[in-house]
Amino acid sequence: MQPLAHTFPLGFIGLGVMGGSMAGHLLNAGYPLNIFNRTRAKADALIAKGAYFCESAAEVARSSSVVFTMLGMPSDVEEIYLGPPGLLQNAKPGTLLIDMTTSSPALAQKIFTEARQREIASLDAPVSGGDIGAREARLSIMVGGEASDFERALPLLKILGKTIVLQGGAGSGQHTKLANQIAIAGAMLGVCEALGYAKRAGLDPHRVLESIGSGAAGSWSLTNLAPRMLAGNFEPGFLVKHLVKDIRLALDSGAILNARTPTVSLAGELYEELLAAGGAEQGTQALFRLFDSTP
């Protein structure tokens, strides 16, 4: 298929911290944009720039050639895509649906199968990069689906991200994102444990960070989040409640695959403890609270 012309209307559903920025990039690129969000106030800035606000997800589907979704939970994805009146019930044959939510691989496969029966294309395309990556249009986008649908979507995905890889068939994007979250959770656990140990040993954790950050232990989390931990800054770049959701998905999927997941299992126990202690709206670096005790 040929790349979409700018006269093709796009749809975007889910205008939260990341979705709002992503939809804005598509609008700034010159595409007519139909938008929907349950909280209309989050759409005001895009409406002011020329986006058209639809009263429902179904209206977005009926009015758009390509529809992006960036939602919170797998239950939201299931409702928007499969529920009445959902995207699949209202999209025209030939429409391309692109779900960028971190969700269940099995749900992505179900949506793909039902979409195909209706002559609708679908991709699962979760992202990594957080709110900063969304604002700066440098997300890593992990895609599952048919190669022809990926090629059709690629010019649009390049507006949103820098690293865009087709991982395989339906659900492969979600599996890749869960692998990403397993690595993130394990790295965060290691950073928190290391700095907690350093403080218990009576060391200056800032000096320790200076030494280990430039060695083999260096990582994105150590460089970017460890200084925030030590400063007591737990403002979110990525919310604890969202990582807990992702860890639960990874553990469920790992069980189905009979995969060994000891690191993310332990990280999950600790993040569940943090969640129960009121940390849902804090950044994932708040895990350090469980390790931060000065002798």
Is residue 127 within 8 A of residue 139, CB to CB? The reply is yes
Q: How far apart are CA 289 and CA 286, in angstroms?
A: 6
pLDDT at res. 6: 61
DSSP 202: T
Summarised one tens digit per residue, pLDDT across range 13-52 is 999 889 999 999 999 999 999 999 999 999 999 999 999 9
**276-281: Cβ within 8 A, 24+ apart:** 279/234, 279/240, 280/239, 280/240, 280/241, 280/244, 281/236, 281/239, 281/240, 281/241
Q: Residue 163's beta-bridge partner residues?
A: 140
Statement: residue 294 has pLDDT above 70: no
DSSP 11: E
Q: Residue 128's beta-bridge partner residues?
A: 140
pLDDT at res. 238: 86
CB count within 10 Å of CB 113 equals 11
Q: Is 177 a catalytic residue?
A: yes
Question: Which residues of the chain form CATH 3.40.50.720?
Answer: 10-169
CATH superfamily of 10-169: NAD(P)-binding Rossmann-like Domain (3.40.50.720)
Band (4; pLDDT cuts 50, 70, 90): very low
Read off the pLDDT of each residue in 267-295 and give the average, rounded to a whole number. Answer: 93
pTM for this predicted structure: 0.92
CB count within 10 Å of CB 81 equals 28
Multiple choice CATH, 175-290, 1.10.1040.10, 3.40.109.10, 1.10.357.10, 1.10.150.20: 1.10.1040.10
N-terminal to C-terminal alpha carbon distance within the chain = 64
Statement: residue 85 has pLDDT above 90: no
Question: Which residues of the chain form CATH 1.10.1040.10?
Answer: 175-290
Read off the pLDDT of each residue in 137-141 and give the average, rounded to a whole number. Answer: 96
Task: From the candidates 49, 92, 158, 177, give the one annotated as an active-site residue.
Answer: 177
Statement: residue 203 has pLDDT above 90: yes
